[in-house]
Chain A
Amino acid sequence: MLWYKSWLETRWRFAIGLAILILSAVGTVLAYPRVVQLLPLVPSVDVPGEVGRRILEMATLSRTYRGYVWAQWLRQNMTQMLALFAALLGTGGLLAQASGGGALFTLSLPVSRDRLLGVRVATGLAELLALAFLPSLVLPLLSPAVGETFSVVDVLVYGTCAFFAAAVLFSMASLLSTVFSDVWRPALIVCALAACVGIAEPFFGDYSRYGFFGLMDGEMYFRGAGLPWLGLLASAAASAAMLFAASRNLARQDF
């Protein structure tokens, strides 16, 4: 029943995230014909600096459907929104309940704090897994409508990369939720950190593919360098370390 409780507490965040991501995926696919029409205009656009480079790169990538989907959906829309919802799903828990009610009842149950946290984390990660994979499944399903195809294998690979990276943000939010007693500060701190990393990474040029968002959007796989095993392992280790810290922090809390 703890699973049910965790589900009730996070279902709206999950449902809203899923709906927005699916709509965004649908929009990305259906916009492709229009993008193809506009592509010839791009070389005439003269915007200096990083923005100009990005526009030209986007135009170059969009010459193929696979490149367009990666640049528009995986590198931008999904990555940004998944980061946001990972932070939102990771917030909450006992400390937030303590200020909003329900924590003492939960703590009076014959359940250890580790188990309470474990079930909450497992529920959140399951929801995150769904957010990382389900919206992208729209791509192989809907692409034929615009005369294109998208591989299910690619969806699985990109989804895996996105999930492992998003799990780091989720774990960070979970850890911060054992420090702050409201749901907003953990989410805001994680989003702010993610935004800083997202702004900084492009300045590292080609090395950005080895960065956090480079892992999240599966850039190495997209560019034919295979799965980013090291990044996946590092993410898993970072997530595990933060969740362990969250567990220790929760164990020593007074309610």
Chain B
Amino acid sequence: MSDRFVIETSDLRKQYDGVEALRGLTLQVPAGSIYGFLGRNGAGKTTTIKVLLGMAHPTSGTVRVFGTPAQPPAASVDVRRRIGFVSDDKDLFDYMTVEEMIRFTASFFPKWRADLEQRYRRSFELPADRKVKALSRGTRTKLALLLALCRGAELLILDEPTSGLDPAMTEEVLQALVAHVASEEMTVFFSSHQIGEVDQIADHVAIVDRGRAVVTGALDDLRESYRRIQFVFENDAPDTSFRTPGAGRMRRKGRVLTVLASGGADAIVDEARALNPISVDIVPVTLKEIFLETVVGED
């Protein structure tokens, strides 16, 4: 465990009524990163966020946020003072007006950024006197974002921040987020099942599936190390397996054998030479392909 990481979980498990939502999740979120937490619906993203914020108690494993255990209630209160949060449902208090909601939230955060509040009030065009329940989904999201961004937080945790928004509104929200992070020193941990938006703004990523992190790392490193290797054989592709580390999921289709390599592509090619392929093609892969191969591929 180190100060370089804002969030650290180790072998985190959470069971709800016999259902294992988290099955040994291990994560390290570097300080200052924009960390995309990618996974299908029900993969354990929201449960992880709830555990980080002390809303749910882990069955086993450790959770550290800002280097301190996040679970004891007193520590959790201190941790939440340094975190901005937007929930998947953007659940706010329907009976309050936008103004009341802002004043209410500001009262809990000594480092509340009044300057940012004014800026986002203007740019988001929030109607101060309107009740929250009367806001559109997009405006509600903007309000939730303002309430998270103005806390003066060191860590922003966003659970599906753009869910339910149209593409234009999604772009607007993402741009606001990126602009904010560019001007403030903070870490962003955001969950999503939208690969495109993770690809657009994240510099680190974890792909989670069935409660486990199946891929973690800097996005550039993943792009650098992951390769799709395509072997073409004279006859049907052999039913084989590779011993070389990094060889991942394989697909055989007629004369073609495709291997997803998380590293060591050259060594895999060397090993495959014994099978006498007539051609070898190594191509970079996108985050979407990594996701589809590591998550959907596990079905």
Contacts and interface: CB of A to CB of B under 8 A. Distances in A.
A33 interface: no
B96 interface: yes
A53 B123 CA distance: 73
A192 to B, nearest CB: 28
A105 B87 contact: yes
Interface string B88-100: 0101111110000
A104 B81 contact: no
Interface residues of A, number: 22
Interface string B47-88: 000100111110000000000000001100110110101010
A4 B95 CA distance: 12
Interface stretch (B101-109, B186-194, B240-248): B101-109
A107 B108 contact: no
Contact of A254 (B55, B83, B85, B93): B55
A108 B81 contact: no
A135 to B, nearest CB: 26
Given A1-B107, A4-B104, A102-B94, A255 B56 contact: yes
A101 B91 contact: yes
B91 A254 contact: no
A204 B49 CA distance: 56
A107 B96 contact: no
A251 interface: yes
A112 B73 CA distance: 7
A117 to B, nearest CB: 12
A251 to B, nearest CB: 7
Contact of A108 (B16, B57, B78, B80): B80
A254 B89 contact: no
B89 A104 contact: yes
Interface string A97-109: 0000111110111
A114 B105 CA distance: 19
Contacts of A251: 73
Contact of A255 (B55, B93, B109): B55
B94 to A, nearest CB: 7
Nearest to A113: B73
Given A254-B16, A255-B56, A110 B104 contact: no
A108 B87 contact: yes
A252 B94 CA distance: 26
Contact of A252 (B53, B57, B80): B57
Contacts of A101: 89, 91-92, 94
B96 A109 contact: no
Contacts of B147: 105
B109 to A, nearest CB: 7
Given A4-B104, A111-B77, A9 B55 contact: no
Given A104-B87, A110-B78, A254 B56 contact: yes
Given A101-B89, A104-B55, A112-B73, A9 B95 contact: yes
A108 B74 contact: no
A5 interface: yes
A111 B96 CA distance: 19
Contacts of B77: 110-112
Contacts of B81: 110
A38 interface: no
A252 B55 CA distance: 10
B104 A5 contact: yes
Contacts of A5: 93, 96, 104
23 contacts: A1-B107, A1-B108, A4-B104, A5-B93, A5-B96, A102-B94, A103-B91, A104-B55, A104-B89, A104-B91, A105-B91, A105-B92, A108-B80, A108-B85, A109-B105, A110-B109, A111-B77, A111-B108, A112-B73, A113-B73, A251-B73, A252-B57, A254-B57
Interface of B: 16, 50, 53-57, 73-74, 77-78, 80-81, 83, 85, 87, 89, 91-96, 103-105, 107-109, 144, 147
Interface of A: 1, 4-5, 8-9, 101-105, 107-114, 251-252, 254-255
Given A102-B93, A108-B55, 16 more contacts: A5-B104, A104-B89, A104-B91, A105-B87, A105-B91, A105-B92, A105-B147, A108-B53, A108-B85, A111-B77, A112-B77, A113-B73, A254-B16, A254-B56, A255-B55, A255-B56
